[in-house]
Amino acid sequence: MKTENILVIGGTGKTGRRVAENVIQSGHNVRVVGRKTIPAFDWEDPSSYAAALKGMDRAYIVYYPDLAVPGAKEAIEKLTEAALREGLEKVVLLSGKGEREAEACEEIVANSGLNYTLVRASWFNQNFSEGAFLEFVLNGQVALPMPEAEIPFVDADDISDVVAKVLVDDRYNGQTITVTGPRKMTFGQAVEAMAAGIGKEIQFHPITIEEFKAGMKQAGLPDSYVWLFGYLFQEVLGNPDNQEISYDVEEVLGRPATDFNTYVEKTVATGIWNQDLSHTV
């Protein structure tokens, strides 16, 4: 096996952290970048791209906060141009399943002249333990819109296993891999499964998208973030076509995708859900 130099953009996040660990375990060299690393990489500052890419063979691209936001297309274009200049062989782009706005960024990568694989992910399980919904779970009060949506939540471990494989396996060049979990669940069912696994009461309150956005505004979150969540609830969860299960995880890895109950079990074991919010300010 050839040892590759692999850049992981967003390498401290939910999927990037796991991809970096995975790729190191396979014996490759990894450079993790984010805004606080050396070299620093900031999506808002295209002049930071070249130093991160220098000397790398392949890259995992995690855009933040989402490929659907204004400015994403320009950033992805500049990054792929810089990657070509620095002589990278291949990139893997993390994209969102069912996000029409993200498809423009996927096309930029596909037409960049680089070898590529696109990984389109459904909503992550880890949103409840490492992301935007953790605090709701810790508080025992989960208030979310789209209660009727059936979501094939995917595990970040499955995403990272798939990414780590396709990054160094050129048989996946030019392909789009759709990663979902093995079954669909509503937010209410996900909350029930977490409550049972953690062994505490967690209430689910169905609310409207407007109520959710108003709550985010009240909490002082920036308008762009509030807009993004409104878009994701409406566009991704509002379209039944986006709720289909994909079997690509099993095809790529030769094992079934992780069930939500397994996610709950392994997360309980980490202690993440035992934090006591009453001592935080």
Ligand X SMILES: NC(=O)c1ccc[n+]([C@@H]2O[C@H](COP(=O)([O-])OP(=O)(O)OC[C@H]3O[C@@H](n4cnc5c(N)ncnc54)[C@H](OP(=O)(O)O)[C@@H]3O)[C@@H](O)[C@H]2O)c1
List interacting residues with ligand X (CB under 6 A): 10-16, 34-36, 41-44, 62-64, 66-67, 94, 96, 121, 123-124, 127, 131
Is the CB of 39 or the CB of 171 nearer to ligand X?
A: 39
Closest chain position to ligand X (CB): 13
CB of 160 to ligand X, least distance (A): 9
CB of 145 to ligand X, least distance (A): 15
- For residues 139 and 170, is the Cβ–Cβ distance under 8 A? no
Is the CB of 11 or the CB of 152 nearer to ligand X?
A: 11
CB of 55 to ligand X, least distance (A): 19
CB of 6 to ligand X, least distance (A): 15
Q: What is the side-by-side order of every strand in the sheet holding 29-33?
A: 29-33, 5-9, 58-61, 90-96, 115-121, 176-179
Is the CB of 10 or the CB of 171 nearer to ligand X?
A: 10
List the alpha helices (DSSP H) in 121-222: 134-139, 156-168, 187-198, 209-218
Do you know the residue count of the chain?
Answer: 281
Is the CB of 63 or the CB of 263 nearer to ligand X?
A: 63
Is the CB of 186 or the CB of 199 nearer to ligand X?
A: 186
CB of 201 to ligand X, least distance (A): 25
Query: Strand pairing partners for 29?
Result: 5
DSSP structure string for 20-58? HHHHHHTT-EEEEESTTSSS---TT-GGGHHHHHTT-SE
DSSP annotation of 174 = T
Q: What is the spatial distance between Cα 16 and Cα 62, in angstroms, rounded to a whole number?
A: 7
